Copies of this chain bind each other. A is one copy, B any other.
Amino acid sequence: MSDIIREKVHQASLILSELDIDLWLTLVRETTAARDPALELIYPHDLTWQSAMMIVPSGQHIAIVGHFEAEAARQTGLYPAVIPYHQSIREPLLEALTQLQPRRIAVNFSRNDSHADGLSHGMYQLLLDYLSGTQFAERLISAEGILRALRGRKTETEIHRIRAAIQKTEDIYQRTFEMLKPGMSEIEVAAFMHRQLTEEGLETAWEASHCPAVNAGPDSPVGHSSPTDIRIAAGQLLHFDFGVKLDGYCADIQRVVYVLKPQEEQPPAEVQRGFSTIVEAIEAARLALKPGVTGIQVDAIARNLLIERGYPEYKYATGHHLGRTVHDGAGILGPAWERYGDTPNYPIEVGQVYTLEPGLMLPDYGYIGLEEDVLVTEQETVYLSTPQKELILIRG
């Protein structure tokens, strides 16, 4: 079993103590089909029947699982008490609660954070049913505070894996830049990058149909859509959004190439100015990204820098957490849009890994979007990716 789960379960105990929550209950079933994103942090297997993973500050965690999965649960060594059942989880669950007498029971629902919202509504109804008539029914709270901390604060092992995913991503980018030629289509470029992945047995960090995203020139649709037949042309920009998933951890990096025209020695001033603005916005956001600051503050710095220079406001957040998933839940470096709920107000903490990804469209040239991956440390926020500071140039 992965050391990371052992680290995360230990970390969860400490977070429960810190937050003065005496029980964190992850209630799941049929996880091959319906996944609670919290489970992978605290248990290495799928679970079939209704199962209760009960994490407590003392480390005396309890797993209540279907009888045929008890042996696998015991073998993990993560849960000192493994309680199997046959017909219903109701009785063993109530017995465990009666023994623990938790004052607050944190469960995985959240309006704000998708990664703290793995409890399905039907399972929530079942839980209320099990608890009805007991003193525990009134003690349910959201586990979003626990999961924000547990997912956000990466362990050394997690950071090591993110670095490795970034390295692989940068290697493939480098090989791609070396083979790019005007006339190639976005689809051909993406196919080259997919072949690199296949040869190394790597996964994409998000859905392969738009990982990489490849945007040649201003007419290519930017966003989560697949590469098209549009071809790389001189005098235009070529934009990428790409990341590798390696050992369960993701990278997420955007890069920009300019295709020089035959007589051109350097990119047009308008392209250079747009590119420099994005580089500066990322650097300004990095410098602002400090423990205690909120995501909304960091977002505003990059966003306002673009607006002040006369560029349109981008319609997404400046950055997001990066980890086991490419959008790794918890807080966002974003504006106070209803779509983000309370997540832009979450404070920055040491050990968090974020993307920084402002962008702007130049209608004559194409999209300029860079995305760097950064780590918040005690002293400063450091780049994990090697930041792109100059336009990559190829000749038409």
Contacts and interface: CB of A to CB of B under 8 A. Distances in A.
B117 A72 contact: no
B45 A37 contact: no
B339 A45 contact: no
A99 interface: no
A30 B120 contact: no
Interface in A71-112: 71-72, 75, 85-90, 109-112
A119 B117 contact: no
A30 B207 contact: no
Contacts of A89: 339
A209 B122 CA distance: 29
Nearest to A119: B121
A293 interface: no
**A46, A71, A85, A115: which has the most chain B beta carbons within 10 Å?**
A71
A309 interface: no
A117 B117 CA distance: 13
Copies of this chain, whole number? 2
Given A121-B109, A122-B111, A207-B45, A225 B75 contact: yes
Contacts of A46: 206-207, 224
Contacts of A121: 109, 117, 119-121, 123-124
A interface, by DSSP: helix, strand, loop or mixed? loop
Contacts of A206: 32, 46
A174 interface: no
Contact of A32 (B30, B72, B119, B207): B207
A70 B46 CA distance: 33
A36 interface: yes
A250 to B, nearest CB: 9
Interface in A37-95: 37, 45-46, 48-50, 66-72, 75, 85-90
Contacts of A68: 222-225, 315-316
Nearest to A87: B337
Nearest to A86: B315
Given A34-B114, A125-B111, A339-B50, A223 B67 contact: yes
Interface of A: 29-30, 32-37, 45-46, 48-50, 66-72, 75, 85-90, 109-126, 129, 142, 206-207, 209-210, 221-226, 315-316, 325-329, 337-339
Given A33-B37, A90-B338, 20 more contacts: A30-B327, A30-B329, A33-B328, A34-B35, A45-B207, A46-B224, A67-B223, A68-B316, A69-B224, A69-B225, A71-B225, A72-B210, A86-B315, A89-B339, A109-B120, A111-B125, A111-B126, A113-B122, A116-B122, A119-B120
